[in-house]
C-alpha cells in the first residue's frame, strides 16, 4: 500500500475564512469542517507550472502518493462498491484500439446520484448535509499555499477556497476520485478559475497514468466538478494521428484536430499550463453560455486537453462520458462485452458528434480565443 508522512508544525499560510467572512458567504457548507489540506507551492501558482513537483523518497510525487494512499485506504476499509482491479478489460479488434471493460456492478447513474447528494438543486452550492454525513468520502483538500514547497497540513479547517478530493465509490478505474472546486465567497466558481487549480493538480501529481475528466450538459449547468483516475495505458484517442490547425510561437499553445476518429475532437497542447488553462477555460465558458454539450480529457500532466463537443439530444438526454469520448467503454453484461466491436462503438461515437459545419465554426472560435490570449 502507498504511504506518506504528514509535515508537522505551524502553518500560517493556510488561508482560513474568518467568522466575518463566513457571515458574508453563501451558507458556508464547509464551516467547521476539518480535513487534510495539500497546499500547492507558490512556484506552481505564479509561474507557468513548470517547476519541480514535491516528491517522496521513491520518486513518486507527494500529491500522487497522497491520492493513492487515501484511495487505497478506502478500498481496504470496504468503502468502494466493488474491486475495480478484478474487472476484465480488453482491446477491441480494429485500427482504433478501443478499450472495453466488463463491470457488472457499475452503476451507470452514479453521476446523477452524486450530484443529487452533493449539490443543492440550484446555484451549484455544496449541501451542508453532504459534508456532515459523508465525511469518510472526503479524502482531503487541495488549496493554494504561500511557501516555496508543497506541503500536507493535517486536520485543519478548510481554506477560503480550494478543491475537495472525494473518493468515487463506483470507480471505472484505479484511484477514481471526484474533484470538487469550492469558494466560500461565491455561489459558483468560474470555470476558468476552477480549471486553473485543476491544471495545477495535474502538474503536481506528475504521473502519465493520471487523467482528469469533465462532462458538461444541460442537466449540470451550475455544478462544476471534475473526475480523475489512473489508467495503465493511454486512452485510444491519445494514440490517433493529429492535424495542426493553430500554433503560437509566443506562448507555445497548439490546437490540433484528431484525425480518423468518428467523434470530432480538438487537442490543446502547451508547456505553459497557466496560459493553456486560461485559453481552454475561456473556450469552455463560451460553450457553456451557448449551452453546448462537451467533455474535457486532461492528460500528460496537464499539458494536453482534449475537447469533445457533442450534439444536444433532447429526446434521450444521454451523452457520452469523457472517458467514453476517449475510447474507453464500460459494459455491464458479459454478452455485450463479448460482442463489443469497433463498428458498433464507432457508430455510437458518430451519433453524438457535431457535423462538419459546426466543427468548422468551433475551430474558428477556438483559434480566435487563443489568438486573443497570445
Q: Which residues pair with 143 in a beta bridge?
A: 39
Q: What is the residue-wise DSSP string for 2-60?
A: -------S--TTS-PPPHHHHHHSSS-TTTT-EEEEEEEPHHHHHS-S-SPPPB-TTS-
pLDDT tens, per residue, the chain with 374 residues = 555 545 555 554 555 554 444 444 445 567 778 899 999 987 655 445 544 445 555 678 999 999 999 999 999 999 999 999 999 999 999 999 999 999 999 999 999 899 989 988 776 788 888 988 899 999 999 998 888 889 999 888 888 889 999 999 999 999 999 999 988 666 566 888 899 999 999 999 999 999 999 999 866 667 789 999 999 999 999 999 999 999 977 778 999 999 999 999 999 999 999 999 999 999 999 999 999 999 999 999 999 999 999 997 655 567 899 999 999 999 999 999 999 999 999 999 999 999 999 999 999 999 999 999 87
Q: 3-class SS at 108?
A: coil
Residue 96 sits at φ, ψ, to 5 deg, of: -90, -10
Closest CA to 286 of 367, 180, 228, 184: 367
* pTM for the whole structure: 0.90
The residues pairing with 37 across neighbouring beta strands, listed in sequence order, are 141, 153
As a whole number of angstroms, the distance between CA 140 and CA 8 comes to 16
Domains along the chain with CATH numbers: 19-373 (3.30.428.70)
**Unique residue bearing C-alpha cell 499553445:** 253
Rg of the chain in Å (alpha carbons)? 20
Strand partners, 67: none
43 Cβ partners below 8 Å, 6+ apart?
A: 51, 52, 148
* Residue where the block lists cell 470530432: 264
Give a three-class secondary structure readout of 315-331.
Answer: CCCCCCCHHHHCCEEEE
Amino acid at each position: 500500500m502507498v504511504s506518506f508522512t504528514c509535515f508537522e508544525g505551524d502553518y500560517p499560510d493556510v488561508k482560513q475564512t474568518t467568522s466575518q467572512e463566513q457571515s458574508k458567504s453563501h451558507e458556508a457548507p464547509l464551516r467547521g469542517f476539518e480535513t487534510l489540506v495539500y497546499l500547492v507551492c507558490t512556484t506552481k501558482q505564479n509561474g507557468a507550472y513548470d517547476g519541480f513537483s514535491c516528491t517522496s523518497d521513491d520518486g513518486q510525487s507527494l500529491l500522487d502518493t497522497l491520492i493513492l494512499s487515501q484511495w487505497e485506504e478506502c478500498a481496504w476499509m470496504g468503502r468502494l462498491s466493488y474491486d475495480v482491479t478484478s474487472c476484465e478489460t480488453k482491446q477491441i479488434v480494429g485500427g482504433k484500439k478501443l478499450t472495453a471493460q466488463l463491470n457488472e456492478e457499475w452503476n451507470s447513474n452514479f453521476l446523477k446520484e452524486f450530484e443529487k447528494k452533493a449539490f443543492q438543486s440550484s446555484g451549484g452550492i455544496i449541501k451542508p448535509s453532504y459534508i456532515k454525513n459523508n465525511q469518510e468520502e472526503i479524502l482531503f483538500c487541495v488549496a493554494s499555499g504561500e511557501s516555496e514547497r508543497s506541503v500536507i497540513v493535517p486536520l485543519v479547517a478548510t481554506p477560503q477556497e480550494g478543491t475537495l478530493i472525494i473518493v468515487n465509490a463506483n470507480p471505472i478505474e484505479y484511484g477514481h476520485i471526484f474533484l470538487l472546486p469550492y469558494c466560500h465567497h461565491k455561489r459558483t466558481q468560474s470555470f476558468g478559475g476552477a480549471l486553473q487549480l485543476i491544471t495545477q493538480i495535474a502538474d503536481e501529481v506528475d504521473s502519465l497514468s493520471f487523467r482528469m475528466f469533465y462532462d458538461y450538459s444541460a442537466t449540470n449547468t451550475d455544478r462544476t466538478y471534475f473526475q480523475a483516475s489512473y489508467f495503465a495505458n493511454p486512452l485510444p484517442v491519445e494514440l490517433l494521428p493529429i492535424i495542426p490547425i493553430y500554433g503560437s510561437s509566443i506562448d507555445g499553445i497548439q490546437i490540433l484536430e484528431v484525425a480518423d476518429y468518428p467523434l470530432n475532437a480538438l487537442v490543446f497542447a502547451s508547456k505553459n499550463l497557466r496560459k493553456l488553462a486560461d485559453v481552454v477555460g475561456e473556450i469552455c465558458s463560451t460553450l457553456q453560455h451557448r449551452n453546448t454539450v462537451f467533455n474535457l480529457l486532461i492528460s500528460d500532466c496537464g499539458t494536453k486537453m482534449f475537447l469533445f463537443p457533442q450534439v444536444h439530444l433532447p429526446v434521450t438526454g444521454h451523452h457520452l462520458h469523457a472517458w467514453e469520448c476517449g475510447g474507453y467503454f464500460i459494459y455491464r453484461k458479459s454478452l455485450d462485452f463479448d460482442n463489443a466491436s469497433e463498428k458498433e462503438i464507432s457508430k455510437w461515437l458518430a451519433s453524438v458528434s457535431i457535423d462538419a459545419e459546426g466543427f468548422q465554426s468551433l475551430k474558428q472560435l477556438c483559434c480566435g480565443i487563443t489568438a486573443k490570449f497570445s
